[in-house]
Amino acid sequence: MSKRKFGLAMSMLLAAGTLLSACGTGTDNAKDNEGTGSTEGSGDEQFSIAMITDTGGVDDKSFNQSAWAGIQEYGAENNIEKGDGGFDYLESKSDADYEPNLNRLVRRDFDLVYGIGYLLKDAIETVADQHPDKMFGLVDEISDRQNVASIMFKEHEGSYLAGVAAALMTKSNKVGFVGGMEIPVIERFHAGFVEGVAAVNPDITVDVQYTGAFDKAELGKAQANRMYSSGVDIIFHAAGATGNGVFSEAKERKTADKDAYVWVIGVDADQYDEGQVGDDNITLTSMLKRVDVAVKNVAELARDGQFPGGETITYGLADNGIALADSRGAIPEDVLAQIDEYAKKIAAGEIEVPEIPAK
């Protein structure tokens, strides 16, 4: 099967200008991205960028890893190397590491420093206030600081497609959602997934559970064990490294019984490789949140003197900032066609996906 990204029949390797045309500032219409005071980039190719992770780590196979991939791509395209004056990252083992890690990167004089994740807002704002001449990027939360660019995503739109895929592929009419912390960004995943399932078949049961952590694979594994044991056959996770435990449980079941009908829908990055079990694979698809494209896009704007400080840039399905990954044959062509129809309606505004789960 030819590779496809569900959502729109377009390449996901986007030009920065394409994404920028869909950017918005808060709830207002998009406005020109103008550099703000001393935070303008110089246009020099040696413009340097770095990021700090949340506690999920840089190799979480998900959110942080996607951001790091975008930073590495920026480095390769701009002929800069890992380290001071180029690009780099620091991992946070606990929330106590956020401010110290940000300050370390500021002292190393990176031109633009990203905080990856909702939980880093307070630390980003504290350090941004201390260094008003420095540029910062905040992913998954909104800051009003004029030297912070806020990067948001319409996770609910892609999660709706994940729900459609799960509803069309389930055999038991029981599917599951495993979230990390019960915060707005994860609730958007939750809301979209449940709505997508219901759009196909409102009689399908959706088992929703939150683990309370993004870095506890054992909690994800325990929830997956309970869900699969109860008859759930497809689980969508939005739990960072905790979701690695969902994959572990599904893979163990597939290893024990080659005919076991168990699937995982990955999140943020394409998690196909995480689902490999010998010659089989238990990854049905993945909800792609193009953090890699976003961090690269904002870095290019900053480098070119158009840093969107004080603005919120939102990436959604219509501009290919959100999509489903190639299923590598796990989903039949007739089902793919149905998913694409839903995607086109969302992109055209015919379907409005809720951001908050129904109570």
From the list 317, 299, 320, 296, the residue with the least C-alpha distance to 308 is 299
Q: Which residues of the chain have pLDDT under 70?
A: 1-45
Assess whether 119 and 143 both reside in one domain: yes
Q: Could you tell me if 340 and 197 lie in one domain?
A: yes
Specify the pLDDT at position 5: 47
Residue 87 structural domain = 16-154+290-315
Give domain status of residue 215, yes or no: yes
- The answer on 144 and 161 residing in a single domain is no
User: For residue 10, is it within any domain?
Assistant: no
Same domain as 296, residue 230: no
pLDDT at 15: 34
Copy the structure tokens of residue 198.
Answer: 């219901």
Tokens encoding 320: 């290919």
The verdict on 311 and 206 lying in the same domain is no
In a domain, 53, yes or no: yes
Tally helices (H) and strands (E) across the chain: 10, 14
Same domain, residue pair 106 and 132: yes
Decide if 64 is inside a domain: yes
pTM, entire model: 0.82
Q: 261 with 307, same domain?
A: no
Angle at the Cα of 251 (from 232 to 343), degrees rounded to 5?
Answer: 60
State the Cα–Cα distance between residues 181 and 175, nearest whole angstrom. Answer: 20
pLDDT, residue 55, reads 86
Residues 6+ apart with CB under 8 A from 265: 162, 165, 166, 234, 235, 236, 237, 283, 284, 285, 286, 287
Q: Which pLDDT score, from 0 to 100, does residue 140 have?
A: 92
Q: Is residue 359 part of a domain?
A: no
pLDDT for 12 equals 34
Is residue 5 in some structural domain? no
Is 139 found in the same domain as 42?
yes
* 201: exposed, middle or buried (Cβ count in 10 Å: 0-12, 13-18, 19+): exposed
Q: How do residues 226-250 score in pLDDT, each as one tens digit?
A: 999 999 999 999 998 899 999 999 9
What pLDDT score does 269 carry?
A: 86
Query: Is residue 207 one of the residues assigned to a domain?
Result: yes
For residue 213, give the CATH number of its domain: 3.40.50.2300
- Say if CB 197 and CB 227 are below 8 A apart: no
Tell me what pLDDT residue 61 has: 76
Cβ atoms of 175 and 343 closer than 8 Å: no
pLDDT tens by residue, 148-190: 999 999 999 999 999 999 999 999 999 999 999 999 999 999 9
pLDDT the model gives residue 45: 54
User: Same domain, yes or no, for 28 and 143?
Assistant: yes
Do 206 and 334 lie in one domain? The reply is yes
pLDDT of residue 118: 87
What is the DSSP secondary-structure string of 63-125?
HHHHHHHHHHHHHHHTT--BSTTSEEEE--SSGGGHHHHHHHHHHTT-SEEEEESGGGHHHHH
Q: Is 152 helix (H, G, I), strand (E, B) or coil?
A: strand
At 180, list the tokens. 């990390």
- What pairs with residue 28 in β-bridges? 25
Paired strand residues for 153: 315
Within a domain: 164? yes
* 220 and 327 assigned to the same domain: yes
Enumerate residues 6+ apart whose C-beta is below 8 A from 318. 8, 22, 346, 347
Query: How many domains does the chain fold into?
Result: 2
Q: Indicate if 197 and 277 belong to the same structural domain.
A: yes
Q: What are phi and psi of 209, to 5 degrees?
A: -140, 140
